[in-house]
Structure 1
Amino acid sequence: MRRVEHIMGLPISVAGDAVLPGEAADPVFAWLREVDARFSPFRPDSEVSRLDRGELTEDELSADLTEVLRLCEDYRVASGGAFRVRLPGRGLDPCAMVKGWAVQRAAELLAVRGVRRFCLNAGGDVVTAGGPWRIGVRHPTRPDRLCTVLEIADGAVATSARYERGDHILDGRTGRPAVGLLSMTVVARSLTEADATATAAFAMGADGIAWAAARDGCEVFAIDAEHRVFRTPGLPLAG
């Protein structure tokens, strides 16, 4: 089974047990399209945009958006303000949390429908089950090369870097682009955790390497602005 759709501005693919019908992926993509419609800050009728304009109170928010905003606040506090979804002069933008959270939920939809082995890939951020799956991490300055290959059975991998969208990750403490790292890859139990940790660590700059490595259940592969490579001892490198 393999299927690809373009949602949330990303190619999202699912590969899994060939014996299962293609309909197993239908709820996954329906959920991701729903998330895009409800939480995109670029859609004027989304729940996020309506909240940002003051048309909704906290008591009127959906349980899902309440959860996302709570997670955003948790990471803001944990990162000392480097991870921030509302910067001065900018609107509310929880995209840095929404993607990983939504794709993790999508992976859970596959699991409850009996898909035991799958790889769900959202623009290079991956959730796997029933592996091993080999996950390549793109080299930050050489697009035709990989800088490492990981082997993941059940878990998630997320990378934050500048090579796809330029200086799009801002340090919430300064409002300026984060430039201390070239790439930050985090392996964790869930993509919610892996993606948010990678983004927050990248926003923190060089200090983010030790911060991410110290988080429970996280393994790290990072390249700083001086092209130095850092990795934690438990990083699941492919043989």
Structure 2
Amino acid sequence: MHRVEQVMGFPVSLRIDGTEATDDMGPGVDPGVGSEAGDAVFAWLREVDERFSPFKAGSEVSRYGRGELPVSRLSADLVEILGLCERYRVATGGAFDARLPGRGFDPCAIVKGWSVQRAAERLAAAGVGRFCLNAGGDVVVGGGPWRVGIRHPEIADKVCAVLELTDGAVATSARYERGDHILDGRTGLAATGLLSVSVVAPTLTEADAVATAAFAMGTEGVAWAAGRPGCEVHAVDAGRSVVRTAGFPSIGFPSAEVRAA
């Protein structure tokens, strides 16, 4: 089964393998179960968009940001998101910050990975063993191996690395889609030290947050991300040098020189 929808401002694609009796990719998934699981994934992501988008005036996030909701009245989900935002703010010395001056409270850098990881967990709970969930280029997979390409930061139709994942996630923060949209919270200026940074982690919650935080930190963020437990890193800096951790699960680096981080 392959399904694509536009949710939260970007395309989300879901592939579930093993829904046919002739499939040879391991234990099969009843087609009805796969369809219902897909429905649940996209319903959840639409719910997240309504509840946690800072661009929707009536969302819980917007109401909290305007001071209309005290902490005692927040949902457990938003309390969890606030905790994650604070964790990464402290860990990066303020480079990652969901409360930038002049921008209001914006937890999107946490919400995306967190919500897609929750969706993946719903698939697993429904008995879906082999799947690939791609949310605007950030990917969480189960039952691999799956091959995932990392887009070249300057050439749209090229990849700068290909990696292989069985169960886990990879997220990339870069400037190629939205320009200089990630700010260093310590200075309030656009982070420009890196062209892209990709992080592999056990969950997309962590992979996405660490990739964004590392990008905000600039070149120092590569070593910081590499030091996070369970994280492997591939980055291209503004000088076009490529660095990666030794454990990054790559099977090819077709367009860049590689040196160990």
TM-score by length of 1: 0.99
Q: Which residues in structure 2 correspond to 1:1-239 (within 5 Å)? A: 1-19=1-19, 20-21=31-32, 22-238=35-251
Aligned-residue offset at 1:229: 0.2
Aligned-residue offset at 1:238: 2.4
CA RMSD of aligned residues (A): 0.8
Rounded to whole Å, the distance in 2 between the matches of 1:32 and 1:175 is 30
Deviations, residues 70-103 of structure 1 (Å, cap 9, x unaligned): 0000000001101100111221000000000000
Aligned-residue offset at 1:166: 0.5
Rounded to whole Å, the distance in 1 between the matches of 2:251 and 2:41 is 28
Structure label with greater radius of gyration = 2
Rounded to whole Å, the distance in 1 between the matches of 2:8 and 2:209 is 17
Rounded to whole Å, the distance in 2 between the matches of 1:90 and 1:17 is 42
Aligned-residue offset at 1:141: 0.5
After TM superposition, the runs of 4+ consecutive aligned structure 1 residues lying more than 4 A away are none
Contact 2:18 2:130 in 1 (8 A): no
Aligned-residue offset at 1:18: 4.0
Contact 2:143 2:167 in 1 (8 A): yes
Alignment coverage as a number of residue pairs? 239
One-letter amino acid matched to 2:6 = H
Unpaired stretches in structure 1, ≥5 consecutive residues: none
Rounded to whole Å, the distance in 1 between the matches of 2:233 and 2:66 is 38
Aligned-residue offset at 1:237: 1.1
One-letter amino acid matched to 1:176 = L
Deviations, residues 185-219 of structure 1 (Å, cap 9, x unaligned): 00000000000000000000000000000110000
TM-score by length of 2: 0.90
Q: Determine what percentage of the aligned residue pairs are the same residue.
A: 69
One-letter amino acid matched to 1:8 = M
One-letter amino acid matched to 2:249 = P
Unpaired stretches in structure 2, ≥5 consecutive residues: 20-30, 253-261
